[in-house]
A = this chain, B = another copy of it.
Amino acid sequence: MKNYKPKNRLNSQAYIDGILDGDRVILSRAITIIESNLESDKLLAKEIVQSILPKSGKSIRIGITGVPGVGKSTFIEVFGLHLIKQGHKVAILSIDPTSQRSKGSILGDKTRMEQLAVLQDAYIRPSASGDTLGGVSNKTGETMLLCEAAGYDVILIETVGVGQSETAVHGMTDFFLLLMLAGAGDELQGIKKGIMEMADMVVINKADGDNIKMSELARVQYQNALHIFPMSESGWSPVVTTASALKNIGISNVWDEILKFKTLVKDNGYFFKNRNHQQIKWMYNNINDELKQLFYGSKSIKSQLSILEKDIIASKISPVKAAQQILKTFKNSF
């Protein structure tokens, strides 16, 4: 299966030229290659990414998260339309770690954003993340680079605020936006510990009609809660606002805050410092993932581990000694 080579593939230069020309069909086909697990595609993907690399990076990368029901699709549609009106080209990548793509995804179908989907300046793509956090970083990360090379200058990476993918998305974006609802209770919204404190901005969505008062209350509460945390390295204090995507209220304000953020971090040097840091970290994450794969992928290691786990719980062996023992097995296996 893995050695099967699809017949409809172009040569790498055709993809590269197409992407740099902003050809959406070629872009889509190139992303399919990035997402493919076929060995021949992996080689092709590497060539493509390597060549477009110098043309990537010229966008603002925005992570958007929030649990299902918070109104993410509507928000992104209205926000995207606003950006396009201002002359931007917007790429929207959706990651849904809760379900594999083939099994149907709760995010990622174009029909969710009907107005945006028909525009030339919008590119919407569900991102197949695979099963691992590393998968999110690699596949979505490389897809992002391709979109940038194709001329999209605002990248929105959308994810569901329930899994681990937020950390990966936070690690590849410049600005992290958290959508919430007033009065739903944080437990109900399922926001994981730690996501809140990654946010550069919290938007209380659906702040319209009877909900305005409660949303304003929630805004104050979240603003106070965020002040408990020390200032982040960017020098930016997280902002909490209310908005209604449905009624198109407060949407331009979100973009204004992002522009303020961009000015601040470009002036104080954090923007590129953070980008460089993210790139380097991306390499180290890959190295560490592959090292673990080399170790934990071994069948004999796996079976020895399950025995050691039982022995540890039974106080037969100390965790430190168990680790030393299995590392010896690993070294001798080469």
Contacts and interface: CB of A to CB of B under 8 A. Distances in A.
Interface in A179-208: 186-187, 190-194, 196-197
A263 interface: no
Contacts of A288: 292
Where chain A touches its partner, the secondary structure class is helix
A194 B194 contact: yes
Contact of A280 (B57, B145, B309, B326): B309
A56 interface: yes
B290 A323 contact: yes
Contacts of A295: 287, 291
Nearest to A192: B230
Contacts of A227: 186
Interface residues of A, number: 62
Contacts of A1: none
A320 B287 contact: no
Contacts of A194: 194, 197
Given A49-B320, A276-B313, A230 B187 contact: yes
27 contacts: A46-B318, A46-B321, A49-B318, A53-B315, A53-B316, A57-B315, A138-B320, A186-B229, A187-B230, A187-B231, A190-B230, A193-B229, A196-B228, A222-B228, A225-B228, A283-B312, A283-B320, A283-B322, A283-B323, A284-B323, A286-B320, A286-B322, A286-B324, A287-B323, A291-B327, A291-B330, A294-B331
